[in-house]
Structure 1
């Protein structure tokens, strides 16, 4: 027996107009359009909202130098495996760099590596550590646009540089990260545990979804459909 489905009648098609007032139809339509627009904007401009590379003002044009803090250094430009040129400072201790530990500093969200030179000085002068630091892609004078994947590539690039440097490759290596830099440190060390002697994280986070307002059941939908940057490193910390 063949099942036959009748086409919707005009009466069926006009159900909304017959039973729902026009002002409610207008409200529902407008709300749907606004929700779709907001959703699209959140997804499209998510990275610009997360990565505050332009703050404070001038951060993309001016980067302080280690020499201003009494540190010897070389200004390096590294080309990552995806072809992005990023800037790094390599501050080696004169005469005995090979005999002292090396601290690899990953800076917090806003600003650039120059804004963390006062921290680098503490390690370099007081503790006599070699200091290596970089500005992520899209930060300071580095090229590119910051993303979670991109920062993972950047961190691996600076580690690879250290492991090839004649003075630093055999030193005890410690990762130090603030806020966003803490997440970058956790990820890098988890992928290169045998290369590090220690890790310090300060005021960091376990994942970006933890920052999302708890929408109940909508939270899962939001995280699955809208989130493009996760940094979900809780499992890495527990391991």
Structure 2
């Protein structure tokens, strides 16, 4: 009886250890969802579908991954704020275009939409450290542009994008004018130059 119980415990323990090992090995595949069920990795629409003038931008992250982004400019001579947009987890930037269209109309801003590695037209596979490098590449690109006011860069992130934006702002306080993190029913505004926080519920 004792040997049977011991064998059972060893068996259960082995299953638990194997399960944990699988979770560690495949955690990034479980966390990141570049493709929604039933859809493809490609963009279903582009900003042109919503009559938004845009530029295809190709970047290289610090570790050499080729990244794609859309730079949507309100009007050619617009010198208003430029929003660096970091999306939620599932799907790609095309699935956020309607929200961005409303943002542009109401805020009179430019929007730079980055596809994380492994998402949309970007190469590579998503990972925590990799996406942080992608965000840095996007901010560095915007900081070097001559057709925007680089002193008015706003970092906007929803859900996963909020964490990406928070880390980016922490590492680049001199390059970001304002950070906006939007969660389910809570928005957090962080004015990095003033070190102030505002919280509000929808």
TM-score, with length taken from structure 1: 0.73
1:167 aligns with 2:147: yes
Report if the CA contact (8 A) 1:53-1:59 is conserved.
no
User: What is the 5 A alignment of 1:16-27?
Assistant: 21-27=2-8
User: Contact (CA 8 Å) 2:151, 2:177: kept in 1 or not?
Assistant: no
- Tell me which residue corresponds to 1:38: 19
Moved over 3 A (4+): none
> 1:130 and 2:113 equivalent?
no
1:63–1:113 contact (8 Å) kept in structure 2? no
- CA RMSD of superposed structures (Å): 1.8
Q: Is the 8 A contact 1:56 1:110 kept in 2?
A: no
Distance 1:108 1:147 in 2: 14
**Greater strand percent: which structure?**
2
Alignment of 1:117 with 2:101, yes or no, is no
Higher normalized helix content (fraction of residues): 1
Q: What residue is the counterpart of 1:71 in the other structure? A: 52
Matched residues in 2 for 1:145 and 1:193: separation?
Answer: 28
| Residues matched between the structures, number | 186
Query: Which of structures 1 and 2 has the bigger CA Rg?
Result: 1
Q: Structure 2 unaligned runs (5+)?
A: 185-195, 198-202
8 Å CA contact 2:35–2:92 kept in 1: the answer is no
- How far residue 35 of structure 1 moved from its aligned partner, in angstroms, is 1.4
| Match for residue 106 of structure 1 among 58, 62, 86 | 86
1:201 alignment partner in structure 2: 181
Structure 1 residues 102, 177: closer, same or farther in 2, change over 3 A? same
Distance in 2, matches of 1:158 and 1:167, equals 15
CA apart distance, 1:94: 2.3
Give, in angstroms, the shift of residue 171 of structure 1: 4.7
Q: Which of 152, 155, 158 lines up with 1:178 in the alignment?
A: 158
Q: Which residue of 1 aligns with 2:32?
A: 51
Give the SS at the match of 1:41.
helix
